[in-house]
Structure 1
Amino acid sequence: MMMKMTMMRTVSFGVGARRTFLALVLAVLCALRSARSAHHHHHCNGPLLSLLPPTSFHSSSVSSESHAGYYAKLNNRDGGGGWRPDHTDRLRWLQVDLRERMEIIAVATQGASGSSDWVTRYTLLYSDTGRDWKQYRHEDYAGVFPGNTDADGVVHHKLPHAIRTRYLLFLPQDWSAEGWIGLRVEAYGCSYKSDLADFDGRSALLYRFNQKSMSTVKDVISLQFKSVRSDGVLVHGEGQRGDYITLELQRGRLALHINLDDAKAHPSSAHVSISLGSLLDDQRWHSVLIERFNKQINFTVDRMTRHLRSGGIGDSLEVDYELSIGGVPLPGKPGTFLRKNFHGCMENLYYNGVNIIDLAKRKKPQIYSVGNVTFSCSEPPAVSATFLSSSSSFLQAPADLSAMTETDSGETSGWSAGFQFRTWNRDAMLMWIGLQGVEKLVLLLSDAQLRLTHHRSALQSSEITVGRSLSDGLWHSVSLTLKENQASVSVDNDSPSSMMLGRHARPGNTVLIGGCPASATNQGCRNPTLAYQGCMRSIVLNNRPLDLYRVQQGLLGNYSGLQIDICGIQDRCLLNYCEHGGECSQSWSSFSCDCSGTGYTGATCHNSIFEMSCEAHRLAGSSSGFFSIDPDGSGPLTHTVVYCNMSEEKVWMVIGHNNSKPVSVQGSSFQKPHVMKLNYSASLQQLTTLLHRAQHCQQEVVYRCRKSRLFNTWDGTPLSWWKDRAGEKRTYWAGLLPGVQQCSCSLAENCIDMNHFCNCDADRSSWENDTGLLSYKEHLPVTEMVVGDTNRSGSEAVYRVGSLQCHGDRFLWNAVSFYQESSSLHYATLHAELSVDISFYFKTTAPSGVFLENLGVRDFIRLELSAPSTVAFSFDVGSGPLVLTVKSHVPLNDKQWHHVRAERNVKEASLQVDQLPLRFLEAPHDGHARLQLNGQLFIGGTASRQKGFLGCIRALTINGMSLDLEERAKMTPGVSAGCPGHCSSQNRLCHNRGRCIERNSGYVCDCTHSAYGGPRCQTEVSVSFESGTSVTYTFQEPFSVTRNTSVQSSAIYAQSSRSRENIAFRFLTTKSPAMLMTVTTYQQQYMAIILARNGSLQIWYKLKREMEPDVFTATEYNLANGQLHRVQLHREGGDMWIRMRVRSTASPQTKS
């Protein structure tokens, strides 16, 4: 009753409180569900294999009878003390039949007792039927389990998510270097009971309500399903007012549609649609949970949850008569359905606590069955095979399957082939058919289309193309027919396309599927691009199905690089590791991120292409102008445009707002004040970050008044005020600190009336002034002005709020000195699960030392100076330690500043030191993605207090967040704030990218990487060109190319998103046309900056050999006017930014 009373009282809540309450209710429901789950797993951890009979264990082979599969129980010492396969066995598997479906929460392994045989790495597969296996994968898609390091030690693995299955299959991947494979296993869990219903694609269950209509404010629907098809309705209910709920598969994803409003009165206002999951037609069990309380909805598919809120005004879901399961029957027409039906199996389907399948099994009157619904799951319809390698996978069909059939008249009746496939790859070999002589038919996947090519000779061929978007990961069916002198091909039961072959086609003795083996080269079979990577099933040759089990046993045909009875496809974009709005695309074995237009770059769009402050732009040699600033680098905030004023010694960042003109106020009062809101070009979060980074910020408030007071002269009540960035009311004015209700004249002791602290409070009829600067950073900028005392005769106020101005970067020279090897700075655990970037400067005279370290239970990350000339970046993500090093040609312990930037993400790791080539290390295939850390982050040392760093570190930034090293050093022994030396301050000793180098008696500026010369790199270096002259500079090849010299790797580099240019120069000329600059690569790419005949500036880019160059006209002005012009160009992948300072009578312009 208490719960009911509380729910009734919610009608009086405000909107915010009500939303909070609803969210709390759903959170409580989730917590209760989690508690029940935890309680269940506490009692679901018993050993399952120890009591199984010997007949439950099967294996691919045994080395002897004493090493049979039934000796593979954990801690068993009988027989040979474990399972050992034969040394000639290339399959190597151990299968366990649990006798019924069980819930498995953990597994454990041992080697063979008292031997040198054990398994170091293995994969785990599971199945309900002993066929059609699925590989167990962790949350990050890693599918390999670490095994044993000796024979008798037990290695346990708790499964992150439990599996429900009858059969387990252990596949050793690596084993003892001292011996052979030896394995003893155990699985932990409990029995699993369920209610099953099988739908054949033409059937449904109808759950009919006791009353005409069911109206609910709370719904909970849960079920598990496995599907044969990628489309079909699982659950549907609707009402006459327009309410409905539909759960259906759409192209392998699960979509939930809900509408709570009267569709006629409020069309589409409350409709909500959301999709989750991928590849859900894989005939594997998937769990679904829908929780709704009023408008709050939780939708969960396989542990992935989305929270959403429906629109409209209705809170209840009204469903009339019945809820349909598996399809939507058309009323009055038995066997006819409105939408595509579900084809597959469901279990444990609950609707608001009602077990619908149990009611159907017991033939309760609430359930009406349409078509053939059975209560056990049918066998999978076909055996799948996974082609694993893009270079060596193939399946060779024997001659008897490809033989021509004879009619009674002795004439050939034709030949046919068919199969189904699913893949992410856009290009691949699918089938090769040898014909008479040198003729052959080749069926390819080409740019996600199906292409059939008839090769008459090396120079003569014809082809047809059918289908599109066939690399979408869904199943597609292919049919190929040869009849007389004609070949026909069709996809997904579309109308076939045909071509003439010139004569009767007779296939030879071989049909190759998926690729060409090396032995078939003399037959003219070569993979035109890549061998096939993906799944195939239902392979039929000349109306005879190909028995893949016989192929696997070596009784039929031949194969390589195949897994039979498993489809190993996975959606690598489902979790979408692309950051900052990058678009994910994938092939069979990897994914890539398109960062175009995001303002970020890198393998996962992690790194901002913009500087973090105006100070950084000055150090890069830029002059005053508008710049894009990313205040938190690789963090979640996007970039914003600010003006950088570099005309003074201090660099000022200027951020404007929407009302910079003077505002005159009359007629306002304390009760009805004038209010002006200010909106800035940067968001509140961006402003906060920029202010936090700056050394000093200020904002001018010009305030003029006559007979308009700022404070009530009797009791000091504020009559006018402003609001800070948090929206808080502030009553102090320019030049004062918070809490002091005064103006700047009181600080200067020059107020016109010494009885008041503000000039305006003198309340004179003459114009007075309380103008000044607000400079308390924590309150800036001004977001609202409120003026209240202008309603008396002659009263008026005029104010103007200036731009926010900041200078300095307090983290760029935030430095500490480590002078004890055992000392280090401690911070909270590094948040680096999926990606982390680390950037800092160091200088030292020590030969080695650890810059940074963070440990986990097994994982770790470390950056160190491992030798005087070498920086090492090492980490372990659960797949074993990896080390990436950069070796300099000069010592790095030379007491000079050196810059280090390291990054690790799910695709790769990178490390760069100073201007040395960037080094990359690809992430292990099928390895773990998440870096699990739980200890403290150590800066300048390690957890063991050994190998500490001696020297200076500054400007340490991790994932876009700069650490205040100096503040932490104040409370840490062995570490001091700041760093001694001329080059350790933020005073600009060397300009325009010049490098400051310490000397015993001072410093010098190295201007090697600057376009300027002189003692402080401030003198322009220029050159005068006569007609026909030029300067050529040859760059060192980037490491990403020199480490791979193959044509293929060069092509990969040519298309790499890492390619970028930063170009800046000034020029003057009176001649056009003219070539100002050209850059070429050995892949026949080029970039050129030219003056056209009319003097306009053009940029030509050719990044792909087969395409015409892109031409951009940066400005239409005639720049061949004898004036000095500046050009800045930045390109990142497909995006280009151009900035120009044009000296002309017209105003300058910027194009991008």
Structure 2
Amino acid sequence: ARIIVFLCVCEPCWIPTGLLRRQNSNADTVVQYKLEQPVIARFLRLIPLDWNPSGRIGLRLEIYGCRYTSSVASFDGSRSSLVYRLSVRASWTVMETISLKFKTLKNSGTLLHAEGLRDHSLTLVLEKGKLLLYHLQGVSSSSGGQLLVSLGSLLDDQHWHHVKLERLSTHLNLTVDKNTQQVQIPAELSHWHIHTKPILSNRNFHGCLENLLYSDINLIDLAKHSSPQVAVGNVTFSCAEPVSVAVTFTDSHSFLQLPGLTSWSTGLVSVTLQFRTWNKGGLLLTFGLPQQDGTVFLYLSQARLRLQITKAGRSSLDLSAGSGLNDGQWHYVELSFKHDHLSITVDKDEGATAHISISVPLTSDSQLFFGGKNTSIIIAQKCKNPFNTFQGCIRLLTLDDQTVDLIKVQQRLLGNYSHLQIDMCGIIDRCYPSHCEHGGICTQSWSTFHCNCSNSGYRGATCHSSIYEQSCEAYKHKGNMSGHYYIDVDGSGPIKPQLIYCNMTEDKTWMVIQHNNTELTRVQSSAERNQHFAYFDYSSEEEQLVAVISQSEHCEQELSYHCRKSRLSNTLEGAPFSWWVGGSGPGQIQTSWGGALTGTRQCACSLQDSCLDPSHYCNCDADYDQWTEDTGLLTHKETLPVRSLVLGDIHRPGSEAAYRVGPLRCHGDKNFWNAAFFDKETSYLHFPTFQGELNADISFLFKTTSSSGVFLENLGIRDFIRIELSSSTEVVFSFDVGNGPLDVRVKTNLPLNDSRWHRVRAERNVKEASLRVDNFPAATHEAPTDGLMHLQLNSQLFIGGTASRQKGFLGSKITPGVLPGCPGHCSSYGSLCQNEGRCEEKANGFSCDCGRSAYTGAFCHKEVSASFKSTTSITYILKEPFELSRNSSGLPSSIYSDITLRGENISLSFSTNQSPALLLYVSSFYREYLILLINKNGEDSQMAFFLGCLLLINDCFFLILENLNLTSDVEFNSIKSLVLGRVEEPDGLDAEMAELASLGFTGCLSGVHFNSISPLKAALLHPDSPVIVTGPLVQSSCGSSSPANTYAAETTHSLSGTGMDPGQPLVNTIRSDSALIGGVIAVVIFVTLSALAVMARFICSRKETYRNQEVKAAQPEDSNEFPFSGQPDSPSAPSENQKEYFI
């Protein structure tokens, strides 16, 4: 059977709600309907509309409520006022409360004004359907006050709304219909005098107040009984607010048809109405012009009101007025035809009017159609409806100043309608409260909302998921190099992303947070001051610092104190001369210095027994008249970061000091490699209930050899959430929030049970659910419109299994809160190690061993380069002479003396102006040698190697390959040494070659690699290697396209950049006012380098790509043509251009 619901606040004022519902059809099921608007009433009346087809009807209904006392007052919006003045009180009240209920049809007006001391006051104003709380001081209009908070939306809906203000000391809570916000107020507002009178606004409150209570004092009751504390002006103690009947158009099938009036035959026609909507477009009104074979359309387009008249299918007139009419507020519209004059008006005085002279004949037979999408077909079958459907509310509909009785329409006594909700406005503000997180901007239409996440650092339908990683460790495992990155330490949590420098070293990944003074700062002695104060402001906010320190495995900060007759602690018993403040929040005073134990009032030298004066625990406490220092690392995380420094012993004559507080450095992400291994399908972990009623995101890494299994599951009475591997190529995200089970599936074209790490990211919010697996396309599923939103769970969260302990996951999964325990990272991340770097397993991740590589860095990606002078020589000793006779088969180096090599692998990069020039010389104990050199013409030497020529122009490389075939003996016996640069002892070389070897090499060498030996890297980074260096050798970045100083070169884009990959290091942190000049220079450089690249490609294209050459022994008669005779060309010769080559 169907029933209709009526509500009533006080009998017999029954108001139909328009809720027409079909009930259950048996005695076993329960039918539940969600009301489109919440209601509060004292009485509920249910009226059956038809009989059960089976011949029976019954009803079971449970109603819960409480006794209710009502005191109401009505305000007319002009002269009504109510003023309550407090009596003199002996003591100050810590807590005060004001509560009331109100209802109104006007969207603006002053509800409440509370005066404090010294012209401080609070004003509660209804403005465009929202409640605004202002703090004023010595001003008389709300525009001059400070807006403290805004709450509520669409409060002019003629429903009762509850408002409560609670003051606790200087904190104020404002509650509107169960939504609360807290603000801070000045102390002068500790005493209130309450007003609801026409001040501070020229649009005063027009409506009803109910139960206006001040700290349990009913002010309306006091006013009724003429209390001297209350002054009343033109207030009625009843709520006689006129009832306005609204009608809601919900979809394309909603329309209202009204007949014309007999007075229209005179040529005078007037139609007025008020509407509200969120849509930018929609058809409001349509009627035909039979005499002219035309149609009139009144519609919204781009949030403007437009009127269009078509005749014979063609538009003959188009008028427009107003703007921004999709703001959800009531807007007044008038359509008028008077004596061949047509006009449309929007919002009367505040809006706009458009008019034109035209004849629009109407008769009493004319029919008006409001809303609908196909009403034009009803009017004229000749044209299609080009307009969007109107979705919104209409009220106060009049025809020639006669109000249309919509209740008669509902009773089928007037006109016709379909799919309308009469006697209610079903508009919903989907942006209040906003479901857009992290500053996302909410916009809406009638049935949905949209979040603009631009410049927020987050993504997704509700701006929930961060686009940045949670640590530098996560960026490293994506293969990123050192640089500045945005770090979001709590992912989708409330902490904002922060810009951090990630230093990817070979063994650790450091997060570096700078502050305003990391340089060595000198303090001059002064007799006028006893102490020097230094304060350190960090680039990260307080909550960001705390989160970084908390989730890191280790943090440290260097603290250095340089002193000359300037003491730190003096004695252990007396008060210290100097101290520092560190830790979270305001921090705590610390008296121990870098390298010492916390709370010991000592320095690092005391632990090493190296203090200058054994009777003191710091070098500076010796009070010597000479410079010394106490330097060390602070590693106790509870005392970090250093926030301030106080230096006391600086006022004596001759006292001098300098200090340095380094940046905060942390490594290790305790959350990233928090792994667990599941070896049985019945194994699982369980945690407290997962909390994610409206928004929830889950991310983890897994690897397995099993083809299926449940990753996690959490159950409720009906609701649940589950993520599982359903097959070797499919991951399923399942959940139910009361609308029925939903599955989001991602299928991959590669198997996921390959024992490699795979990343899963699932998100569910009120708008959609999404699932991502690795870099495969994401799958999404939109939430049903006006469906249930709250995910209500009550069981424990099961990880690696289900609540029934069936079909558990077999493998490894990374998720917060579990102890480490999953080896085997190199199978997934070993490819990140470059240039023959070897992946090494770590307990928490991996590292690249660059020992056998000529490169260094976190991924063996940094070239090791050096500048050579003509006298520079690097000799790498492969075998000492006396070791030849030994049987050293157990030693790796013995291969060069005991085994004959039939092949060598050599690679290097060079840049020079010199030719001829020797690049590499390898000698043996049998007077055999191998050399790599540049001939007189600047070409590569001819040798038994696979050689390459690499020309570097604007980071574009042109490769020339040469295959060389040797016909002579190709065995290289008993290698002795390897030389770069000048050859001091050219054993076995003829005179001409020896002369060339003695000239040395001037230029740059980089990435030198001979089989498994890197002589240049050993000379620069490993001085304990068997290497001899003579002459000047300077490490340089000349062999690399990247700058040597990463701090100097790394710069950053702002957060607003939208075309940036979050995984790339950021550039352009250095802000400058010369951006335009820089842009011009960049264009010029780009054009120049592009031209050079074209020229270089043209030159290289003229060379043979592959040449097969046969190297033969040099004949005596060929000596005149030997290309290395004579002196090398001058480096400054104008005919030579310095280039960089890779061999």
TM-score in same-fold range (> 0.5): yes
Partners of 1:350 and 1:442 lie apart in 2 by 51
Q: 2:206 maps to what in 1? A: 343
Give the structure 2 partner of residue 421 of structure 1: 275
**Partner deviation per Cα, 1:392-428 (whole Å, 9 max, x = no partner):** 1332424x4266634xxxxx33222121111111211
| Larger displacement relative to structure 2 (571-580 or 777-786) | 777-786
Structure 1 residues 182 and 805: alpha-carbon distance in aligned structure 2, compared to 1, 3 A threshold: same
Q: How has the CA–CA distance of structure 1 residues 867 and 182 changed in structure 2, closer, same or farther, with 3 Å as cutoff?
A: farther
Distance 1:773 1:365 in 2: 72
**2:1098 aligned partner:** none
1:578 to 414, 419, 436: 436
The equivalent position to 2:1086 in structure 1, one of 1102, 1108, 1119, is 1119
* Aligned-partner Cα distance in 2 for 1:206–1:1121: 79
| C-alpha distance in 1 between matches for 2:298 and 2:530 | 79
Distance in 1 of aligned mates of 2:652 and 2:352: 88
Aligned letter for 1:349? L
What displacement does 1:681 show? 0.8
Deviation at 1:808, TM superposition (A): 4.2
Task: Let me know the Cα RMSD of the aligned residues.
Answer: 4.9
Report the Cα distance in structure 2 between the residues aligned to 1:190 and 1:553, rounded to whole angstroms.
34
Query: Cα offset for 1:851?
Result: 1.2
Matching residue of 1:448: 303
- 1:697 paired to 2:561: no
Q: Does 1:942 align with 2:909?
A: no
Instruction: Name the structure 2 match of 1:514.
Output: 371
CA shift, 1:658, in A, is 0.7
2:40 matched to 1:187? no
CA contact (8 A) 2:595 2:631 kept: no
Is the Cα–Cα contact under 8 Å of residues 269 and 312 in structure 1 kept in the other structure?
Answer: no
Kindly indicate whether the alpha-carbon contact (under 8 Å) linking 1:624 and 1:646 is maintained by their aligned counterparts in 2. Answer: yes
Q: 1:647 to 1:248 in 2, by over 3 A?
A: closer
Letter in 1 for 2:1085: N
1:980 aligns to what?
823
Query: Alpha carbons of 1:216 and 1:499: their partners in 2 closer, same or farther (altered >3 Å)?
Result: same
Letter in 2 for 1:224: K
Structure with bigger RCO (C-alpha 8 Å, 6+ apart) = 2
Counterpart secondary structure, 1:405? helix
Aligned pair 1:881/2:741, yes or no? Answer: yes
Q: Which amino acid aligns with 2:166?
A: E
Partner in structure 2 of residue 505 of structure 1 = 361
Q: 1:318 to 1:761 in 2, by over 3 A?
A: same
Return the match for 1:288 from 139, 151, 163: 163
- Deviation for aligned residue 1:432: 1.6
Contact 2:277–2:328 under 8 Å retained in 1: yes
- Distance in 1 (CA, whole Å) between partners of 2:86 and 2:619 is 80
Range with greater deviation from structure 2 (609-618 or 916-925): 609-618
Q: Does the residue aligned with 2:544 lie in a helix, a strand or coil?
A: helix
| Structure whose CA Rg is larger | 2
Whether the 8 Å contact between 2:7 and 2:41 is mirrored in structure 1 is no
3-state SS, counterpart of residue 979 of structure 1: coil
**1-side partners of 2:333 and 2:113: how far apart?**
33
Q: Tell me, in whole angstroms, the C-alpha distance in 2 between the residues paired with 1:822 and 1:493.
A: 73
Deviation at 1:378, TM superposition (A): 4.5
Equivalent residue letter for 2:362: R
Q: Does 1:250 align with 2:127?
A: yes
Aligned runs of 1:227-376 on 2, under 5 Å?
A: 227-236=104-113, 242=119, 244=121, 246-257=123-134, 273-292=148-167, 295-311=170-186, 313=188, 315-318=190-193, 323-324=195-196, 327=198, 339-359=202-222, 370-371=233-234, 373=236, 375-376=238-239
> How much does 1:496 deviate?
6.3
What is the letter of the counterpart of residue 350 of structure 1? L
CA 1:674/1:338 → structure 2, altered by over 3 Å: closer, same or farther?
closer
Moved more, 767-776 or 982-991: 982-991
Letter in 2 for 1:702: S
For normalisation by structure 2, the TM-score amounts to 0.67
Separation (CA, whole Å) in 2 of partners of 1:460 and 1:437:
13
Q: Which amino acid aligns with 2:164?
A: L
Q: Would the aligned equivalents of 1:270 and 1:312 in 2 still touch at CA under 8 Å?
A: no
Tell me the residue number matched to 2:334.
479
Match of 1:965 among 785, 795, 818: 818
Structure 1 regions of 5+ residues with no counterpart? 1-83, 86-92, 102-126, 136-143, 329-336, 407-411, 957-962, 967-976, 1006-1015, 1030-1065, 1069-1085, 1090-1096, 1098-1111, 1127-1152
Residues 209 and 781 of structure 1: is their aligned pair in 2 closer, same or farther, counting only changes over 3 Å? closer
CA contact (8 A) 2:342 2:358 kept: no
Q: State the Cα distance separating 1:578 from its structure 2 match.
A: 1.4
Higher mean C-alpha displacement, 569-578 vs 534-543: 534-543
* Offset at residue 199 of structure 1 (A): 3.8
Cα drift, residue 938 of structure 1: 2.3
Letter of the structure 2 residue corresponding to residue 316 of structure 1: H
Q: Is the 8 A contact 1:396 1:557 kept in 2?
A: yes
> In structure 2, how many angstroms separate the alpha carbons of the residues matched to 1:1123 and 1:780?
50
- Measured in 1, the distance between the counterparts of 2:171 and 2:1092 equals 59
Normalised to the residue count of structure 1, the TM-score between the two structures is 0.67
For the pair 1:166 / 2:51, whether they are aligned, the reply is no
Matches within 5 A, 1:817-896: 817-896=677-756
Shift of 1:580: 1.2
- Alignment length (residue pairs): 871
Q: Which amino acid aligns with 1:189?
A: G
Give the match for residue 964 of structure 2. Answer: none
> Shift of residue 262 of structure 1?
6.6
- Tell me, which stretches of 5 or more residues in structure 2 are unaligned? 849-858, 864-947, 957-1039, 1043-1057, 1062-1067, 1069-1078, 1094-1143
CA distance in 2, matches of 1:886, 1:209: 67
1:388 and 2:388 equivalent? no
Cα pair 1:213 1:318 within 8 Å, conserved: no
The 8 Å contact of residues 80 and 233 in structure 2, kept in 1 or not, is answered as yes
Within 5 A, what are the aligned runs for 1:14-25?
none
> Residue 197 of structure 1 aligns to which amino acid in structure 2?
A
**Residue pairs, 1:12-161, within 5 angstroms:** 84-85=1-2, 93-95=3-5, 100=10, 129-131=14-16, 151-152=27-28
Q: CA deviation at 1:984?
A: 6.6
Which residue type is aligned with residue 225 of structure 1?
F
Inter-partner Cα distance in structure 2 for 1:299 and 1:429? 40
Provide the rounded CA distance (Å) in 2 between the counterparts of 1:460 and 1:796. Answer: 89
Q: Aligned partner of 1:892: which letter?
A: L
SS of residue in 2 equivalent to 1:373: coil
Equivalent in the alignment of 1:109: none
Match of 2:287 in 1: 433
Q: How far apart, in 1, do the equivalents of 2:57 and 2:952 lie?
A: 73
Contact 2:274 2:397 in 1 (8 A): yes
State the Cα deviation string for residues 545-603 of structure 1 (Å, max 9, x = none). Answer: 43433433445444333211111112222211211112222211122222222222221
Deviation at 1:1067, TM superposition (A): 11
Partner of 1:779 in structure 2? 639
Give the CA deviation at 1:276: 2.4
Q: Deviations over 1:65-105 (max 9, x none)?
A: xxxxxxxxxxxxxxxxxxx24xxxxxxx333577956xxxx
Contact 1:675 1:787 in 2 (8 A): yes
Maintained 8 Å contact 2:85/2:193? no
The verdict on how the C-alpha distance between 1:539 and 1:561 changes in structure 2, with shifts beyond 3 A counting, is: same
Determine the C-alpha separation between the residues in 2 that align with 1:885 and 1:163. Answer: 43
- For residues 902-941 of structure 1, what are the structure 2 equivalents within 5 Å? 902-941=762-801
In structure 2, the residue corresponding to 1:1119 is in which secondary structure? helix
Contact 2:5 2:16 in 1 (8 A): no
The C-alpha deviation readout for 1:1072-1112, integer Å capped at 9, x for no partner, is: xxxxxxxxxxxxxx9999xxxxxxx9xxxxxxxxxxxxxx9
Mapped to 1, the partners of 2:90 and 2:386 lie a distance apart of 61
What is the Cα deviation at residue 306 of structure 1? Answer: 2.7
2:264: which partner in 1? 405
Deviations 1:670-716 (A, max 9, x none): 99432211111112321222233444433223332233333324648
CA gap 1:226/1:947 in 2 versus in 1, 3 angstroms? same
Residues in 2 aligned to 1:760 and 1:578: alpha-carbon distance in whole angstroms: 56
* Distance in structure 1 (CA, Å) of the matches to 2:143 and 2:356: 53
2:1122 maps to: none
Counterpart of 2:486, as a letter, is S
Alignment match, 1:540: 398
Equivalent-residue separation in structure 1 for 2:317 and 2:411 (angstroms): 38
Q: Is contact 2:373-2:388 (8 Å) kept?
A: no
Using the TM superposition, name which of 769-778 and 362-371 deviates more. Answer: 362-371
